[in-house]
Structure 1
Amino acid sequence: MTKFRYRGKYILRRNVKKILRSLLTNPVFLIGYWMFGKKLALICKFGSLNKNLPVFVLAIIILLSTILFTTIKVIKNSEYQPNKLTNVKGWTYLSIILFISITLLYGVNIYKSGTNYNGKLAWYIERLKNERSVKFDQNNLYKYGVKGIFEDIKKKQNLPEKLYMVNNFSLKFNSDGTITSFDTFVHGKSDNGKEESYLISYDKNKSDRITIHLNGYAGTNYNDDKLLEPLIETVKVIPIKQAVSKWNESQYGLVYYGKRNWGYNSNGIINIDKDGKEYSLENTSSEIIGYTVSLFVPGMDKVILPARYNLIGNPDWSKPTITPNQASPSEKNDERTNTNEQFFQTKEIGYRLNVADKALGSTFYSLSKTTNGGNTWTVINNDPYSGTVGGASGIVFFDDKLGFLGAVNLSGNEGALYRTDDGGNSFKKVNYTLQEVKLDNGHPIKPFDTPSMPFKTNGVLNMLVGQGADGDYNGNSSELYQSEDKGRTWKFVKEVKK
């Protein structure tokens, strides 16, 4: 019995060797292998399945047919000899060299396509590692609010209990309450203290699933002015259907930037309590500060005044509407928190954008400065933006001369950056070359149009230019620019994946 077993293993090994030798010396197999490797490398590099898939499938058919035919021949005929080319002097060695060369050539190309974002394969691997999707079931804003979005996400992805936005939360919905799109970038700490980030987006026209990108760069600045929870709680009590019905449009928008200082202008501001009772602020004599949820008509925000709701009754969410001179010392310390409208360079020196006026959705700002930690403020520029903007998106000063202001339109779809080199007395709009990219269909677009606040690394100023609230190109990535002349000119460096 043992003798037959050993003989069987010997015959199997001999047949396997015959099969491999026959395949390696078979020109048809080598041609099929070459076609397979070439097309697989092209697919990994560029994608383009429609163009490469037919030949790729043909190559697979050739390989499988050759392997099957050779295997059957060897098994049926123990005396089967490899093709006649094996008798040609040197062909066996040449065919082995060809096989190894094809493997190395296209193997290296495939490896490169799968690393450092050099090809479609790398992006596919990135999505497998860092992208999740979940069926969007609670997709009616009137019925489920914003909370339904995060309840659906939690079915598949655990989220930190306390979440902060990096920029804003933007959503669009139809008149029947059906959510058509939304996106936000949030971050927080998990139960074990690990920093986690989530780029969340949804587009009804593309899919019925919410897409969640993990492990993006969000920084470690957990600013309470960017808390997400006030958005969820405020939307619960807003009579959204009733509020937008007066506009009689087919689509509406909702945007939330976190806590905002509206100055003394009450246009469109509605304070609302947890029971849904609304309070008018038409003649307020105090600054209006709160976590604001805005309802608006997309594309009409400069014509139709948005409705801006602040949920009151929670001392952590709505600061008392008092002037700085009335504040207690502890409250003045709280005011040193940097926001989109305020920046403290030191404990004593700070800058603040003040809402001077509003008209048809546009905002007028003045710029104030303090040198005593916020006890008193002095207006140093009555019109730093040289006109109206939708809203301030940031403020930063690097010294007593160099500073920047950010601005976005009301919907957050497009922005601009302004620079001063005289301490805020005058500002000029920052110019940089918009980078053009091409979609898979070859159509060129310029999606990067919303600059964020510059930051300094090793003496060099860096600026990330994002896509705004309507961005969806390449996972809503950004582009990195750098300046070596204090922000006068900017050089494009690379695209940055969130």
Structure 2
Amino acid sequence: MYGRMNNNIYILLFCIVFLISIITFTTIRIITDKEREFKKLPNLKAWKYISILIIVAITSFYGVEIYKSATNYGGKLAWFIERLKNERSVKFEHNNIYEFGVEGIFEDINKEHPLPKKLYMASDFDLTFNSDGIITAFDTFVYGKNAHGKEETYLIAYDKKKSQDITIIRNGYANPDYDDDKLVEPLIKTVNAIPVKQTVSKWNESKYGLVYYGKRNWGYNTEGIININEDGKEHNLEKSTSEIIGYTVSIFVPGKEKEVVPARYNLIGDPNWSKANTNPNQKSSKEKQQDLTNSKEQFYLSKEVGYKLNITDKALGSTFYSLSKTIDGGKTWEVINNDPFNGTIGSASGITFLNDKLGFLVAVRPSGTEGELYRTDDGGISFKKVNYTPREVKLDSGQSISPFDSPGMPYEKDGVFNMLVGQGSDGDYNGNSSALYQSKDKGETWEYVKEVKSS
């Protein structure tokens, strides 16, 4: 933060000019009148002490600022330290998807960094590969509990253009919910069953993509859907008499998704992985919710209108997004905001729209200890950070703290907007209670109401 050239170039130039001037002036004085100069040296004792005080003051000030920039993701030094602590590299040997599927990726990682046996995705799995099967890039964010029951997270990324190694960043914040709809195992088994080379050969392109979001509900849309068993036997669906629900692995041509229908594979055999209702007119409440596929990164205002946060970049546990909108039930999406969080470092933990104009987003910091609320009143075209006065509480020791720093999704009740602000992953005050805030101006300003105990 304080070491960057563009921040301090004018100060640096001034110091250089000042230093050269002093050296020049002093040299001239010594040369022209050496005897008189040395006689005056004892009189410079006061200036010596003043100089020492100036040096100590400047050093102390910038020392404190540099320390701040090295903690809590405050500057470039903090990111360097974070990389040093948590970033690791793994040699990528099983890099041909035709031969090793995606299982080879996890096999290479497990050699040096054993992963939890049961892995969940905090973000989708994206991968690209060439026509010869060589994997060119992939990224995902996974988490799980190790043999000792401790939670572990792994941001996994690879870009052939930048390195021949897989990059792993540990100890990020994944906002874990251990939802079985986000299991990694179906991805590995499904790709093992798919004849990937045969699938892409009919498209005759130089580059292909693979994406996995976990379990998905396709409704009665059979376009591109292929049921496949573990032996690789395919069952194309021409017509569906029930909803199609499964862990779907899609293979596609990047940039031509509208022209070339992706091949969407569902592995059948395990009843928990691929389900369908026998009576399409009878749906449980859970299945109705799946129709909307609302999540922390996607929200449907109606069956036709929906909003989705798309991952555009990742770095050190942080995720950057664009915001898309659909008006045809998810068949087509249009990006309406390239940076809805305005450069915020962290990841999305919630999205909601109360009408076609008013909506909210919540981002959580990489540490998971605090979050920020964003509001739009133009349908997502722009967002502004929402500020609210932190609620201070006094501990028995007399110390004052502000434990409530992780806002939840606002909701409307009787014309009043409500929001619970929690304590984040480090919360331990009063049983991890929350603070209730209310707004009477549709979420522009918020007032503290009361403390709410966790149920």
> 1:260: how far off?
1.4
Range that drifts further, 177-186 or 130-139: 130-139
Aligned partner of 2:324 among 409, 416, 419: 416
Q: Kindly provide the CA deviation profile for residues 400-440 of structure 1, in whole angstroms up to 9, marking residues without a partner as x.
A: x9x98334789999542579xxxx9xxxx997684698xxx
What is residue 86 of structure 2 aligned with on the other side?
A: 130
SS of structure 2 residue aligned to 1:305: coil
Question: Structure 2 vs 1, CA of residues 99 and 283 (structure 1 numbering), >3 Å: closer, same or farther?
Answer: closer
Deviation at 1:451, TM superposition (A): 7.6
Query: For the structure 1 residues 158 and 462, does the alpha-carbon distance in structure 2 shift closer, same or farther, using more than 3 Å as the test?
Result: farther
Q: Identify which of 223, 226, 233 aligns with 2:179.
A: 223
**Partner amino acid for 1:463?**
L
Is 1:405 the counterpart of 2:405? The answer is: no
Say if 1:304 and 1:408 are closer, same or farther in 2 by CA, change over 3 A: farther
| 1:183 CA drift (Å) | 1.2
Q: Contact 1:264–1:287 (CA<8 Å) still a contact in 2?
A: yes
Question: 275, 279, 285: which is aligned to 1:319?
Answer: 275
The residue that corresponds to 1:492 in the other structure is: 385
Is residue 292 of structure 2 the alignment partner of residue 341 of structure 1?
yes
Quote how far apart the aligned CAs of 1:130 are. 3.2
C-alpha contact (below 8 Å) 2:268/2:274 kept by paired residues: yes
Equivalent position of 2:142 in the other structure: 186
Corresponding residue for 1:442? none
The match for 1:198 is 154
How far residue 126 of structure 1 moved from its aligned partner, in angstroms, is: 2.0
Alignment partner of 1:109 out of 43, 50, 65: 65
Match status 1:287 vs 2:214: no
Q: Which whole-Å CA distance do the structure 2 matches of 1:101 and 1:452 have between them?
A: 43
Residue identity (%) = 52
Q: Aligned to 1:482, which of 346, 354, 374?
A: 374
Relative distance call for 1:184 and 1:86 in structure 2 (3 A) is farther
Q: Could you tell me which residue of structure 1 aligns to residue 126 of structure 2?
A: 170
Secondary structure at the aligned position of 2:123 is classed as strand
Closer, same or farther: CA 410–149 of 1 in aligned 2, 3 Å: same
Equivalent position of 2:102 in the other structure: 146
Whole-angstrom distance in 2 between the partners of 1:238 and 1:154: 23
Aligned equivalents of 2:132, 2:266: Cα separation in 1:
24
* Secondary structure class of the residue paired with 1:186: strand
Q: CA deviation at 1:244?
A: 0.2
Distance 1:461 1:216 in 2: 27
Q: When the two structures are superposed, what TM-score results if normalisation uses the length of structure 1?
A: 0.56
Corresponding position of 2:351: 454
Q: Deviations over 1:7-34 (max 9, x none)?
A: xxxxxxxxxxxxxxxxxxxxxxxxxxxx
Letter in 2 for 1:195: E
* Aligned AA (2:385): F
Matched residue, 1:10: none
C-alpha distance in structure 2 between counterparts of 1:454 and 1:144, whole Å: 37
Give the whole-Å Cα distance in 2 for the aligned partners of 1:249 and 1:411.
24
Kept after mapping to 1: 8 A contact 2:310/2:324: no
**Structure-1 separation of matches of 2:41 and 2:214:** 75
2:166 match? 210
- Tell me, in whole angstroms, the C-alpha distance in 2 between the residues paired with 1:435 and 1:187: 26
Indicate the residue corresponding to 1:77 in structure 2.
Answer: none
CA 1:276–1:229 in 2, change beyond 3 Å: closer, same or farther? same
Unaligned runs of 5+ in 2: 17-39, 314-320, 388-405, 407-455
Q: CA deviation at 1:290?
A: 1.1
Q: Write the deviation string for residues 245-285 of structure 1: whole angstroms up to 9, x where unpaired.
A: 11110000001111112222222111111111111211332
SS in 2 for 1:111: helix
Partner letter of residue 395 of structure 1? F
TM-score between the two structures when normalised by the length of structure 2: 0.61
Cα 1:343/1:298, change in 2 over 3 Å: closer
Please say which structure displays the higher CA radius of gyration: 1
Q: Post-superposition shift, 1:215?
A: 2.9
- 2:375–2:385 CA contact under 8 A, matched in 1: no
Q: In the alignment, is the contact (CA less than 8 A) between 1:432 and 1:491 conserved in 2?
A: no
The Cα shift of 1:300 comes to 0.3
Q: 1:463 aligns with which of 348, 354, 361?
A: 361
Output the amino acid matched with 1:492: K
Identify if the C-alpha distance between structure 1 residues 87 and 451 changes in structure 2 by more than 3 Å, giving closer, same or farther.
closer
Provide closer, same or farther for how the CA distance between residues 183 and 48 of structure 1 changes in structure 2, counting only shifts above 3 A: farther
**Which range is displaced more, 280-289 or 239-248?**
280-289
Question: Is residue 217–residue 243 contact of structure 2 (8 Å, CA) maintained in 1?
Answer: yes
Bigger Cα displacement from structure 2, 134-143 vs 295-304: 134-143
SS at match of 2:208: strand
* Aligned 1:45-444 pairs, distance under 5 A: 46=4, 88-90=44-46, 93-94=49-50, 96-320=52-276, 322-324=278-280, 332=284, 335=287, 339=290, 341-342=292-293, 394-395=298-299, 405-407=306-308, 415-417=323-325, 434=339
1:416, 1:451 within 8 Å by CA — same for their partners in 2?
no
Matched to 1:454, the amino acid is I
Q: For residues 276-322 of structure 1, what are the alpha-carbon distances to aligned partners after superposition, in whole Å with 9 as ceiling and x for unaligned?
A: 11112113322222111110000000000111111111122111452
Q: Which has the higher helix share?
A: 1
Aligned counterparts of 1:326 and 1:404: Cα–Cα separation in 2: 23
Q: Secondary structure in 1 aligned to 2:274?
A: coil
Instruction: Report if the CA contact (8 A) 2:175-2:349 is conserved.
Output: no
